[in-house]
Amino acid sequence: MGKDSIKQLAVNRKARHDYFIEETYEAGIELTGTEVKSVRKGSLNLKDSYAAISKGEIFVYNMHISPYEQGNRYNVDPLRDRKLLMHKREIAKLIGYIQQKGYTLVPLSVYLKGSRVKVELAVAKGKLLHDKRNDMAERDAKREIERQFRGKEY
């Protein structure tokens, strides 16, 4: 892999369904050695994970990283809180966003950038049920238009 090559490891598909994504940021993540090995294998899950700011630092919660098989006593709790690494000015900007009502931090994906594990973090606002229905209706309409355009009628 080259210096700036990116390899996607995990994607939180549910996040784009449940939230309006306002802005995205890239953050490093503090991991132990066995966690890095497990992440490189792709043994992680972002399904119910979220991020929060505590004492001027960002932490990601509920990110499940499976224990590494050969890790024996060096393995840690799969659901432990993990610190995200960002510049102070970026964290200050995120604090301003989060203090607005309805905004939250959601990890969208985890990927390798070169040899480093990175997290794509989004400032997001929750969707209501009718917003989700509108999105599904738009998606179905686009799909139908594409089907008509190709000339395939089912």
Residues 77-94 pLDDT 10s: 777 888 889 999 988 888
- Report percent pLDDT > 70 for the chain: 95
> Rounded to whole angstroms, how far apart are CA atoms 35 and 39?
6
Q: Does the structure show a pLDDT above 60 at 152? A: no
> Rounded to whole angstroms, how far apart are CA atoms 16 and 19?
5
Q: Is the pTM of this model over 0.95?
A: no
Answer whether 11's CB lies under 8 Å from 106's CB. no
pLDDT on residue 148: 83
Q: Does the structure show a pLDDT above 70 at 2? A: no
> Rounded to whole angstroms, how far apart are CA atoms 39 and 3?
19
Chosen CATH of 6-126 out of 1.10.10.10, 2.40.280.10, 1.20.1640.10, 3.40.50.720? 2.40.280.10
Out of 16-20, 85-89, 121-125, least confident range: 16-20
Of 3, 6, 76, nearest to 36 by C-alpha is 76
Of 97, 74, 75, nearest to 86 by C-alpha is 97
